[in-house]
Amino acid sequence: MISKHLDKNNLHHAYLIEGIREEIVPEIIKFLKDFGVNTIGNSDFVHIQLDSLKIEDAHNLKSYVVQKSFSSGKRIFIISTNNFLLEAQNSLLKTFEEPIENIHFFLIVPDVNTLLKTFVSRFYLISAKQDLVEERKEAEKFIALPLKNRLDFVKELLTETEDEDENEMIVLNSSRSKALKFLNALELILHKKLVSKCLFDTQLFEHLFKVREFLRMPGSSTKSLMESVALVIPE
């Protein structure tokens, strides 16, 4: 999917890849292994997964980047996050803008539209964005449910799971990312349904927009936000 954009003879210093982390990371790992980069037990290979990349994470990353290599080879950073906070983006602008010899970044996000344009401009952009087929099917079911069942649906949707990997500094597969994907699909389905009926509920879509904004804020209650979505959709 993304390998056609990666040139072993002319590797860009910073790639921004839009899409599903679970699909993209294995492709990058395979490319790196073919490239001769050891991804296990290699201090010059860093794999970071975060739900939200905050300002303190940006500071930690900058500190790590300026450290000396443990070998004479390349230093590789794979960073995936569901939510890249604005102050963290601003903090890392120069890091991603100015190439450092033998350092390469692979940044993975679900939606580049949530990032600052000045930030995105620092990268070689690759889109491997999901088409949300499964999420759309679930959104159709969700809309057809009575309110009580919608609330049960939300509870089941937001079940969190944690993963572990010896090469990762931090790993969190959050319900927040599930909620954002589902919300995107839900908005598409609602828009199609209302337009087909020559209706457009401005307040409904304004609410969905606000929910999406709050979902990207650390500390917000994902469950409460998604329950509010269940409440505002007409039965």
Inside any domain, residue 84 = yes
Our count of domains for the chain comes to 2
Average confidence score pLDDT of the chain: 83
Secondary structure (DSSP) of the chain: --GGG--TTS--SEEEEEE-HHHHHHHHHHHHHHTT---SS-TTEEEEEEEEE-HHHHHHHHHHHTSPPSSSS-EEEEEEEEEE-HHHHHHHHHHHHS--TTEEEEEEES-GGGS-HHHHTTSEEEEE----HHHHHHHHHHHHS-HHHHHHHHHHHT--B----TTBS---B-HHHHHHHHHHHHHHHHHHHHHHTT---HHHHHHHHHHHHHHTSTT--HHHHHHHHHHHS--
Inside any domain, residue 19 = yes
Same domain for 121 and 7, yes or no, is: yes
Residue numbers of the chain with a pLDDT score lower than 50: 161-173
pLDDT tens digit string along 133-145? 788 889 999 999 9
Inside any domain, residue 117 = yes
Inside any domain, residue 21 = yes
